[in-house]
């Protein structure tokens, strides 16, 4: 028993609650050969924005590894270990060539895939370049983000295409934001629907236009998937109940409902306004990469600001350090929440309650998958192509269902379960057919009154 546990429920116990407790090493450490680091290396992650790739190589750090990224004059993107294989000058000072990059120190040339093309100071018959493997990782550039796979080459999964990457009418703008803390803190925020009630509502006042009703404690349901979770939280306003579905694909990819949304009428199968990943830089730094989806159907308040989305910025409240100290103190946002938990949160110091079910589920799944990788077993990946994308569910459904004074949470729970069932049943269809099936089933199950006035 820890010293602090012995002092449970005692007053003025500061002296007895100062132990140095370790962080949850297996879940947090991302470097090479660490259990979580090895697990993370089984997935594609965004590591840079296309806009970073210009005339000069860019030094980046991902999963505790120092790397350099560049686009050569042939258009190929290279993601290489940063230090030159010869005598380790940083390739951030290298010259970009037609093929690859040339080290500034003695002119060795590295192709985008790590092959050494030239060692100009060596004799013509030297085969030194055949004896060396300069570290490089495969990349996939997609819609303004550059993804990398840093795991064993023979276990590389196909780059997964999700349905949310190509939603009709959505304009996707990439962004990226640094947080000086362990990746898990930022990622857990996406599995914690209850923080919205307090951080974004009751404690600090409403921070998200159109979602003022989020101050009510929601009815929440979690649905486990091999690749992660889908969960939904439901609240009432008058005759309307809003079910907001979230996706969380482990380790860190997440999608939520409509940004700048409004609870003013029925809506069926609204889609996400945000697709995001948390990429670990190292154990105590992470970088959010994602796309803001701009569209009329899921952003009814039209308060999005495309010019406010990009490098170190996104157009909704509380996501970066770039606000005044006064603003951050008087109304802290998500960024303050996860970074102020410390460089690496100490789970032994937490007391998880009923609102933390999502966080617990996430940690349990991560631990299981990390152990699977340690035992040489495969982990589930989302699988999807442009023709048959992986299905996601992030978005809002709003139905007109009158309040039940006897058991309203029960009514909401039942409706939410039914809608989730319909969403999942629609997995057999693609795009328009999928939406049509969902609309038809909702109409059939809940009746026309539930969707009266939709879209008006």
The residues of the shown chain that bind ligand FES, judged by CB under 6 A, are 84, 86-87, 89, 103, 105-108
Binding mask 202-241 for Fe ion (x = CB under 5 A): ----------------------------------------
Residue 32 beta carbon to ligand FES: minimum distance, rounded to whole angstroms: 22
Which of ligand FES, Fe ion, none sits in contact with 87, Cβ below 5 to 8 A by type?
ligand FES
The DSSP secondary structure of 156-169, one letter per residue, reads PPPPPPBGGGG-TT
Select 72 or 227, whichever has its Cβ closest to ligand FES.
Answer: 72
Contact flag: residue 186 with Fe ion (CB under 5 A): no
Kind and range of the H or E run holding 175: strand 171-179
Contact flag: residue 334 with Fe ion (CB under 5 A): yes
Select 89 or 454, whichever has its Cβ closest to ligand FES.
Answer: 89
Which stretch, 26-34, 331-339, 374-382, 388-396, contacts Fe ion (CB under 5 A)?
331-339
Which of ligand FES, Fe ion, none sits in contact with 446, Cβ below 5 to 8 A by type?
none
Select 110 or 335, whichever has its Cβ closest to ligand FES.
Answer: 110
Residue 85 beta carbon to ligand FES: minimum distance, rounded to whole angstroms: 7
Which of Fe ion, ligand FES, none sits in contact with 36, Cβ below 5 to 8 A by type?
none
Which stretch, 157-165, 326-334, 341-349, 371-379, contacts Fe ion (CB under 5 A)?
326-334
Residue 49 beta carbon to Fe ion: minimum distance, rounded to whole angstroms: 23
Select 103 or 220, whichever has its Cβ closest to ligand FES.
Answer: 103
**Helix, strand, coil % over all residues of the chain, rounded to 5:** 30, 25, 45
Q: Which residues does 283 contact at the CB level (< 8 Å), separation at least 6?
A: 28, 29, 30, 31, 64, 182, 343, 344
Residue 150 beta carbon to Fe ion: minimum distance, rounded to whole angstroms: 29
Residue 199 beta carbon to Fe ion: minimum distance, rounded to whole angstroms: 6
**Cα gap 161→273, rounded to integer Å:** 17
Which of ligand FES, Fe ion, none sits in contact with 162, Cβ below 5 to 8 A by type?
none
Residue 88 beta carbon to ligand FES: minimum distance, rounded to whole angstroms: 6
**Cα gap 345→181, rounded to integer Å:** 8
Q: How many residues does the chain have?
A: 456
**Cα gap 155→56, rounded to integer Å:** 31
Select 40 or 84, whichever has its Cβ closest to ligand FES.
Answer: 84
> How many Cβ atoms are within 10 Å of 194's Cβ, its own excluded?
18
Contact flag: residue 188 with Fe ion (CB under 5 A): no
CA atoms within 13 A on the CB side of 250: 23
Edge-to-edge strand list for the sheet holding 109-110:
95-96, 101-102, 109-110, 116-118
Residue 132 beta carbon to ligand FES: minimum distance, rounded to whole angstroms: 11
**Cα gap 220→222, rounded to integer Å:** 7
Which of ligand FES, Fe ion, none sits in contact with 95, Cβ below 5 to 8 A by type?
none
Select 103 or 167, whichever has its Cβ closest to ligand FES.
Answer: 103
Residue 83 beta carbon to ligand FES: minimum distance, rounded to whole angstroms: 8
**Cα gap 288→280, rounded to integer Å:** 9
Which of Fe ion, ligand FES, none sits in contact with 276, Cβ below 5 to 8 A by type?
none
Select 315 or 334, whichever has its Cβ closest to Fe ion.
Answer: 334
**Cα gap 90→94, rounded to integer Å:** 8
Which of ligand FES, Fe ion, none sits in contact with 334, Cβ below 5 to 8 A by type?
Fe ion
Closest CA to 27 of 193, 251, 254, 221: 251
Select 107 or 157, whichever has its Cβ closest to ligand FES.
Answer: 107
Q: Which residues does 66 contact at the CB level (< 8 Å), separation at least 6?
A: 59, 81, 82, 83
Closest CA to 396 of 297, 257, 278, 235: 257
Select 113 or 264, whichever has its Cβ closest to ligand FES.
Answer: 113
> In Å, what is the CA distance from 293 to each residue of 144, 174, 188, 275, 383?
13, 9, 22, 8, 22
Select 116 or 344, whichever has its Cβ closest to ligand FES.
Answer: 116
Beta bridge mates, 372: none
Residue 196 beta carbon to Fe ion: minimum distance, rounded to whole angstroms: 6
Closest CA to 288 of 318, 264, 329: 318
> How many Cβ atoms are within 10 Å of 18's Cβ, its own excluded?
10
Select 117 or 372, whichever has its Cβ closest to ligand FES.
Answer: 117
Which stretch, 70-78, 139-147, 250-258, 327-335, contacts Fe ion (CB under 5 A)?
327-335
Place of tokens 């952003």: 299
Residue 102 beta carbon to Fe ion: minimum distance, rounded to whole angstroms: 45
**Cα gap 395→388, rounded to integer Å:** 20
Residue 221 beta carbon to ligand FES: minimum distance, rounded to whole angstroms: 56
Interface ranges with Fe ion (CB under 5 A): 334
């Amino acid at each position: 028993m820890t010293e602090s546990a012995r002092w449970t429920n005692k007053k003025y116990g500061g002296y007895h609650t100062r132990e140095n407790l370790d962080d949850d090493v297996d879940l947090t450490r991302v470097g090479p050969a660490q259990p979580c680091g090895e697990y993370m290396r089984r997935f594609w992650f965004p590591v840079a924005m296309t806009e970073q790739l210009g005339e000069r190589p860019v030094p980046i750090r991902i999963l505790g590894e120092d790397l350099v990224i560049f686009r050569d004059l042939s258009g190929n993107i290279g993601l290489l270990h940063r230090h030159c294989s010869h005598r380790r000058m940083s390739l951030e000072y290298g010259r970009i060539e037609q093929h690859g990059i040339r080290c500034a120190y003695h002119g060795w040339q590295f192709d985008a895939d790590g092959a050494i093309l030239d060692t100009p100071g060596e004799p013509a018959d030297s085969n030194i370049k055949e004896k060396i493997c300069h570290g490089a990782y495969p990349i996939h550039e997609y819609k303004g983000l550059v993804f990398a796979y840093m795991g064993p080459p023979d276990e590389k999964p196909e780059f997964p295409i999700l349905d949310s990457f190509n939603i009709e009418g959505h304009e996707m703008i990439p962004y990226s934001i640094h947080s000086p803390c362990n990746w898990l803190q930022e990622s857990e925020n996406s599995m914690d629907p209850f923080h919205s009630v307090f951080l974004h509502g009751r404690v600090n006042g409403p921070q998200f236009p159109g979602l003022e009703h989020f101050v009510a404690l929601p009815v929440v349901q979690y649905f486990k998937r091999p690749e992660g979770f889908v969960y939904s939280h439901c609240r009432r306003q008058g005759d309307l109940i809003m079910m907001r579905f979230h996706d969380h694909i482990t380790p860190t990819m997440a999608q939520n409902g409509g940004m700048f949304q409004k609870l003013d009428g029925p809506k069926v199968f609204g889609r996400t306004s945000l697709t995001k990943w948390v990429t670990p830089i190292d154990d105590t730094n992470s970088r959010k990469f994602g796309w803001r989806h701009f569209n009329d159907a899921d952003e009814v308040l039209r308060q999005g600001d495309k010019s406010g989305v990009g490098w170190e910025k996104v157009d909704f409240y509380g996501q970066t350090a770039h606000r005044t100290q006064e603003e951050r103190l008087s109304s802290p946002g998500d960024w303050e929440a996860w970074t102020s938990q410390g460089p690496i949160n100490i789970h032994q110091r937490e007391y998880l309650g009923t609102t933390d079910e999502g966080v617990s589920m996430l940690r349990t799944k991560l631990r299981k998958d990390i152990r699977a990788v340690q035992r040489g077993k495969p982990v589930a990946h989302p699988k999807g192509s442009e023709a048959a994308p992986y299905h996601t569910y992030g978005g809002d459904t709003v139905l007109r269902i009158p309040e039940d004074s006897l058991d309203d949470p029960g009514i909401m729970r039942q409706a939410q379960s039914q809608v989730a069932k319909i969403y999942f049943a629609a997995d057999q269809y693609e795009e328009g057919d999928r939406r049509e099936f969902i609309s038809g089933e909702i109409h059939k199950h809940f009746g026309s009154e539930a969707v009266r006035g939709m879209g008006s």
